[in-house]
């Protein structure tokens, strides 16, 4: 089980480490049925899907990785970003013998699975993009600040304190009073106060800059698989205009649903999100 305690997992999920040439990829797996990969967002981890996993595991074999550079996976010197993560996910599927799967991605993970659907369409049975990045058209003000002020040339954050984590997580919640916010804040702060912090800074900065430099909205019309696009109506990270831009360029038949949440419906509206995903996947199956 290594660094992830078994009691932290819903029944039926187990923790594994898959060896690759760059290091170990941590993966949670469990459930029964057609395979469903679930890919977390920037700064996230496999924990982000634990609230919706039990519902989805009834009908699907869940495969929930920690992307390289995050969570319990190794954090070597790699070209982190959505396109690279799409390649890693394809390699992980091949390692597991999964030729075709359903794919769910949140935030940066949404941009990664959209990229995967474009680059490796034969591996994608269907696609769920929850508050996905990739719909930006030019840099917003805070993104320019991120590039020029917050990150140093040697890939460290200029300014960091635990209180910043509180503010960022609060911003991501449409309902900052939700009980999951305190647990998430505590867990993220503990990791960022660990010896891994310099490695996390590098993977976070590289991934964030890559997100901004690799928008996918101009290409998504070529996606061949059925798509469910989920928007958080109070999302202040991926704003409505970016979701609308993605949807406007999606193939005909793309399903678009909005939840009254912020950027983290995987936590704040887990039952509602799980119901949407189950209904969509049931129609595909």
pLDDT in tens, the chain (285 residues): 345 544 478 888 999 999 999 999 999 999 999 999 999 999 999 999 999 999 999 999 999 999 999 999 999 999 999 999 999 999 999 999 999 999 999 999 999 999 999 999 999 999 999 999 999 987 665 556 655 545 556 655 655 666 678 888 988 997 778 899 999 999 998 988 899 988 998 999 899 889 988 899 999 999 999 999 999 999 999 999 999 999 999 999 999 999 999 999 999 999 999 999 999 999 996
Q: What is the CATH number of domain 6-284?
A: 3.40.50.1820
Contact 88, 63 (CB under 8 A): no
* Per-domain boundaries in the chain: 6-284
Instruction: Find, among 159, 237, 136, the residue nearest to 205 by Cα.
Output: 159
18 sits in which H/E element = strand 14-20
Q: How far apart are CA 165 and CA 89, in angstroms?
A: 28
């Amino acid at each position: 089980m290594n660094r992830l305690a078994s009691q932290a997992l819903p029944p039926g999920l187990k923790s594994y480490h898959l060896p690759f040439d760059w290091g170990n990829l941590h993966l949670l797996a469990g459930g029964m049925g057609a395979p469903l990969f679930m890919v977390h967002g920037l700064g996230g981890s496999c924990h982000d899907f634990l609230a919706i996993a039990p519902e989805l595991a009834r009908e699907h074999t869940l495969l929930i990785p920690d992307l390289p550079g995050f969570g319990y996976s190794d954090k070597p010197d790699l070209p982190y970003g959505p396109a690279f993560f799409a390649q890693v996910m394809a390699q992980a599927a091949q390692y597991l013998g999964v030729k075709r799967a359903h794919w769910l991605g949140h935030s940066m993970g949404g941009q990664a699975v959209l990229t995967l659907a474009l680059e490796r369409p034969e591996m994608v049975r269907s696609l769920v993009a929850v508050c996905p990045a990739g719909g930006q058209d030019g840099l917003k003000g805070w993104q320019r600040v991120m590039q020029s002020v917050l990150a140093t040339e040697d890939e460290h954050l200029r300014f960091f304190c635990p209180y910043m984590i509180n503010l960022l997580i609060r911003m991501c919640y449409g309902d900052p009073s939700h009980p999951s916010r305190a647990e998430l804040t505590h867990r993220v702060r503990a990791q960022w106060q660990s010896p891994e912090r310099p490695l996390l800074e590098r993977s976070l900065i590289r991934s964030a800059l890559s997100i901004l430099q690799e928008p996918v909205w101009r290409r998504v019309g070529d996606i061949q698989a059925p798509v469910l696009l989920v928007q958080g109506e109070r999302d202040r990270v991926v704003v409505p205009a970016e979701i609308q831009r993605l949807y406007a360029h999606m193939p005909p038949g793309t399903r678009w649903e909005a939840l009254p949440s912020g950027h983290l419906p995987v936590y704040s509206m887990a039952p509602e999100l799980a119901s949407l995903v189950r209904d969509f996947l049931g129609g595909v199956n």
